[in-house]
Structure 1
Amino acid sequence: MGHLLSRQRSSAAEPAATARPVHTSAASTTAPAEPATTSLDVSMERLAGNKGAWAAAPLSERIAVLKEIRARLLDELVPWARAAASIRCATSESAVAQDCLVTALTGTSQIDAYLASLEHLQRYGCLPKPPTSTAASGQTVVDVFPTNWRERRLNVQGAGGVTARLYLQAGKPETQGHFYRGPHSGKLAVVLGAGNQHFLALSDVLHLTFVEGCVCMLKYHPLMAPVAPYIDRVLEPLARRGFYASATSPELAVAQQLLYSPLTDSVHITGGAATHDAIVWGSDPAEQARRRAANDPLLKVPISSELGCVTPWLVVPGQWSSEEITHHARMLTEAIANNCSCNCLAPKVVMLADGWEQADEFVAAVKSELALRNLPAPYYPGLRQRYEAFKQAYPQAEAISAQPADRGAACGEPLPYLVNELPTWPAEPSNEYAFRVEPFAPVVTFAKVPADAAARGSLAERFLAAAVPAANNDLWGSLSCTVLVHPATEAAHPAAVQRALDDLQFGSVVVNSWSVTGFIMPQGHWGGYQDGTQTIADVGSGIGAVHNSYMYDYTQKAVVRTPFVSSLHTQPERYAPLTLGPAKFLAGLIHGGPLGALRMALSRS
Structure 2
Amino acid sequence: MSADMNATNVDSPSLDTLVEELQRGEETWAALSLVARRDLLAALSEATQKHAQEWVDVACSIKQLPPGSQLAGEEWISGPYALLTSVRALSSTLEALEAGRSPLDGFHISKAPGGRVAVRVLPHNVFDRLLLSGFRAEVWSKPGVTAQWMKKAAGFGQRTPKETGGVGVVLGAGNIFSIAPLDTLYELFAHNRVVLLKLNPITDPLQPVLEKVFARFIELGLLRIVTGGVDVGAAAVAHPGIGHVHITGSVKSHDVIVFGPGEEGQARKARGETLLDKPITSELGGVSPTIVVPGDWSERDLAYQAEHIVTQKLHNNGYNCIASQVLVLSDDWPQKETFLATLRKAFSNAPARPAYYPGSDDRCAAAVDLHPGVAQRTADGSRVLLEGVPSSGDAAFAEEYFAPVLTITSLPGLGREFLSRAVAFANQQLEGTLGANVVAHPKTIRELGSDFTGAIGDLHYGTVAVNAWTGVGYLTPLATWGAFPGHTLQDAQSGIGIVHNGLLLDGTERTVVHGPFSPFPRSLVNGEFTLSPRPPWFVTNRTAAVTGRLLTVFAGRASWAKLPAIFASALRG
Deviation at 1:489, TM superposition (A): 0.7
Deviation at 1:287, TM superposition (A): 3.6
| 1:153-302 equivalences in 2 (<5 Å) | 153=130, 156-157=131-132, 160-172=133-145, 173-174=149-150, 175-183=153-161, 184-250=163-229, 252-290=230-268, 292-293=270-271, 295-302=272-279
| 1:467-506 equivalences in 2 (<5 Å) | 467-506=422-461
- What are the Cα deviations for residues 408-432 of structure 1, in whole angstroms up to 9, with x where unaligned? xxxxxxx432111226523xx3xx1
CA–CA distance in structure 2, aligned partners of residues 502 and 127 of structure 1: 25
CA–CA distance in structure 1, aligned partners of residues 21 and 559 of structure 2: 41
TM-score, with normalisation over the residues of structure 1?
0.85
How many positions carry a matched residue from both structures? 544
Q: 1:593 aligns with which of 552, 558, 561?
A: 558
| 1:32-181 equivalences in 2 (<5 Å) | 36-94=11-69, 95-129=71-105, 130-153=107-130, 156-157=131-132, 160-172=133-145, 173-174=149-150, 175-181=153-159
Deviation at 1:375, TM superposition (A): 2.9
User: Which residue of the partner structure matches residue 541 of structure 1?
Assistant: 494
| 1:197-596 equivalences in 2 (<5 Å) | 197-250=176-229, 252-290=230-268, 292-293=270-271, 295-402=272-379, 415-422=381-388, 424-426=390-392, 429=393, 432-451=394-413, 459-530=414-485, 533-566=486-519, 567-569=533-535, 575-579=541-545, 583-593=548-558
Distance 1:227 1:535, change over 3 A: same
Query: Contact 1:370/1:400 (CA < 8 Å) preserved in 2?
Result: no
Q: Give the residue type in structure 1 aligned to 2:514.
A: R
CA–CA distance in structure 2, aligned partners of residues 21 and 121 of structure 1: 40
Match of 2:340, SS?
A: helix
CA–CA distance in structure 1, aligned partners of residues 207 and 491 of structure 2: 32
122-131 vs 383-392, greater mean Cα deviation: 122-131
- What are the Cα deviations for residues 381-415 of structure 1, in whole angstroms up to 9, with x where unaligned? 12222112211111223434356xxxxxxxxxxx4
Deviation at 1:125, TM superposition (A): 4.0
CA–CA distance in structure 1, aligned partners of residues 210 and 97 of structure 2: 28
Q: Give the residue type in structure 2 aligned to 1:474.
A: Q
Distance 1:188 1:226, change over 3 A: same
Q: Give the residue type in structure 2 aligned to 1:440.
A: F
CA–CA distance in structure 2, aligned partners of residues 350 and 396 of structure 1: 18
Q: Give the residue type in structure 2 aligned to 1:117.
A: T
- What are the Cα deviations for residues 509-538 of structure 1, in whole angstroms up to 9, with x where unaligned? 0111121111101111211011xx321111
CA–CA distance in structure 2, aligned partners of residues 151 and 594 of structure 1: 12
Distance 1:48 1:262, change over 3 A: same
375-384 vs 282-291, greater mean Cα deviation: 282-291
- RMSD after superposition: 2.3
Q: Give the residue type in structure 2 aligned to 1:72.
A: A
Can you give the 5+ residue segments of structure 2 that lack an aligned partner in the other structure?
520-532, 567-573
TM-score, with normalisation over the residues of structure 2?
0.90
Deviation at 1:478, TM superposition (A): 0.4
Match of 2:492, SS?
A: coil
Query: Contact 2:73/2:537 (CA < 8 Å) preserved in 1?
Result: no
Q: Give the residue type in structure 2 aligned to 1:548.
A: N
CA–CA distance in structure 1, aligned partners of residues 188 and 537 of structure 2: 34
Q: Give the residue type in structure 2 aligned to 1:74.
A: Q
Q: Give the residue type in structure 1 aligned to 2:239.
A: S
Distance 1:24 1:234, change over 3 A: closer
Distance 1:522 1:586, change over 3 A: closer
Distance 1:568 1:55, change over 3 A: farther
Sequence identity, in percent? 29
Deviation at 1:583, TM superposition (A): 4.5
Query: Contact 1:514/1:570 (CA < 8 Å) preserved in 2?
Result: no
CA–CA distance in structure 2, aligned partners of residues 416 and 573 of structure 1: 16
Query: Contact 1:304/1:543 (CA < 8 Å) preserved in 2?
Result: yes
550-559 vs 95-104, greater mean Cα deviation: 95-104
